[in-house]
Structure 1
Amino acid sequence: MNWFKISLQLNKFPINRAQKLLRAIQNIPETEYQSYLEAQRKSIVNYHLANNSNYKNFFGSLSFLSWEEVPVMQKSDLQHPLKERLSDSFNKNNTYVGKTSGSSGHPFIFAKDRLCHALAWAEFIDRYQWVDIDLNKSLQARFYGIPLDFFGNVQERFKDRMSLRRRFNIFDLSEQKMEIFLKRFKRSHFDYINGYTSAILLFAKYLNRKEIVLKTICPSLKICIVTSEKLFENDKKCIEKSFGVPVINEYGASEAGLIAFENPEGEWVVNSEGLYIEILDDEDKVLPYGEEGRVVITSLYNKAHPMIRYDIGDIGSLSGKSSFKKPILQTLTGRTNDVAVLANGKVVPGLTFYYVTKSIIEDTGSIKEFVIFQTELDRFKIEYVSEQPFTSVQIQKILGAIEIFVGKNLKVDFEQKSFLKRNKSGKLQQFTSLV
């Protein structure tokens, strides 16, 4: 039985129609693909100008003249009641309604028309086939959070059952819970693991300490797909060693769907069928391939709710090998709000601080997880989960590296914790500025 497709159809999402549309788009020759994108961009803008009064007011012009004049949407532009943002003839009952995780600090409710939502799933089905995963047949070990309220919890578990997913609750990642995880793998025939990078990495480190390779106790396991949080190269190697299977990078967002997926050649291929991706500078100008800037996304088929030139809040770049039909994500280095502003005015990407600290902390061998907060212009706090507290020598190494790579005269507080707090969806925010 094709349980996954059946579950979509039961919820009135036209997956067969969406898959037919996806195949038609994929059959467009490379030489004609730029024209397809330009026509679809213009079509979705004109649709919302004609059918969405809120977008028309936001657009601020009578008609579409050129793509460069289309205004860029910020998350703050979408933080008012959904009913005010829906296009004519759409409502909460005939659309898919979701909520962003708020990891960027700007959560909001969004909507997709049913074909757009089905197309997003058709794209996932297509990409997963690249790595020999069939969403209608393959059993998933799902490392995600789950709603804690009764109705939300039951609803999510029903969706998991219909979608061949078995959830591993990541709100409790203690040693005792890891042991329970391990027993589940011993008795189940999982085909793949999917979930948040930090939780999967923590499980991999647990297996490494136990000197267990996961595939030896779960031979059916084929691959691990990580999403939502940055995957560092050393962490990828750690997971692959502990699991005994390849690790694939997925980049997506609830409001946009699948943004990019790593193919077997190691290329992070951008979804060019249902989305149009741009890399913009601070003045909303398109940057050349290879240059880092803001990731801006247009949903080409969402008629219920405009997601047009939408600044998703991430920083990245496209490879020079990109084409209109096959854009390749070269880097995804963090979020636009992940920056530390120092007292002298220096702006340091939070990821820089994280890289420096991470490389030294991992030398201890006993650190499980850590997060960094900027609490004042000249003060940072590192919270960490470890078997033993940092020694004075380890602290001095970290402070020395921070002085070299981040800045001088900075104060750093260290706090050992039994666990780290995740957001409501289960994500672990690696760096947060509280200034």
Structure 2
Amino acid sequence: MPVDFDLTAEQKELKRASREFAREVLRPAAAAADALSDPQEAFLAMRPVYRQAAALGLHTMFLPERYGGGGASNVDFLIAIEELCAVDPGFPTVLLVNGLALMPLLWFGTEEQRETWIGRAAADTRGDFLAGWAVSERGGTANFDHPSPQAGIQLTADHDRASGEYVLNGEKHWPCNSGGWDLQGADVSLCVVRTDRSRGGKGGLSAVLVERGTAGIEYEVIDKMAHRTCQNVTMTFRGARVPEGNLLADGDGDLLVNRNFTWSAPIASMAAVGLARGAYEFTLKWAKTYTGGGSKPIIHHQAVGNLLAEIAAKIEAGRYLCWKSAHYMDRFDGQGHALGGMNKTFCGDLMQNVVTDCMRVVGVNALDRKFPMARFYREAAVFSLYDAGNLAMQRRRTWGVMADRSFSPDTFVDGEPLEFSRSMEGYGVIAEQG
């Protein structure tokens, strides 16, 4: 088949509608929310925007039609994400995390769990339903699959067979959405837990669904320098009990984590591209009108023109790598671990450079808060740190796939399937000696 980058009529309409929503609804609300000093108030200020997004189906467009979702492809979702993130990358993270919490049910959950939670999310047209994804911990999660039970994930879930429940003790740090609108919990949070204290991260991990209002959990909002239009919390579990029917991926929590961050990688990558595009659009307009005290706009200066040309090229390259990665995952569901990792690290790192270069073009005025460049700069810092971290899980997963005997440099060029396995995990994890 020929390589085709043309958008369908439906995708062009999705792009148009998403851009209109971003500029008319999201932009003014995000600017106001970002300026609020209280992080929970900033998140709550976005609730009217979330409700309008729900009315458009944006909050569950990636879920299968079988359960009432929008049935959008990965590529479709990226088209919407780019438009939203060109205005504000924080709010779309709320939508992304709905997917991180619910998509694993398709891969590891029971049919009852899928119908209950995916069905409930898809049925929400008012914008009330939130799903949280809780994997990160205060001690760090880069080595979540460490072979020692004393390292990696330390939120424990002990099976109380007499009551038919799992008892959770420990802490999660940085989960998004999990506090809910009122800090009584999201409707459901998918938590990666240690169900076997005697085994390491390649066999001792599972996941549990923690429902809103579960006793024994406290939520503390994290005050962030960026992405203030989404919520991150610390969850503290003290004897919290969940029904044993809420368990999934028993002993396969490591595979769930890897597959989940593979699904989210092109989305986070496109978020970085969107932010970079927003900075570029402002900078290009600035360069065409600002003279710097000269007789012509600064775009006529060779140094500015050359730098803008590099900026534009980086954004185009990043976008097409995102599309390639998403297209591969649409073809081979659950695969693309290495390609997704390459995508995330490339775009996350590259787009920080783009925003910095845009500020160089704008000059000292980029520091003036009445212009958007200061916020672009703050937001750009997030992309190499979140969604499994560029220095940690994303690169390590790519490394593990490349080291496997089945990998070829032509794998992704030729569009060949490559299934991820446990033998590809653990690269870069330093085991205890002795």
Structure having the larger proportion of residues in strand: 1
TM (norm. structure 2) is: 0.29
More helix by proportion, 1 or 2?
Answer: 2
TM-score relative to the length of structure 1 = 0.29
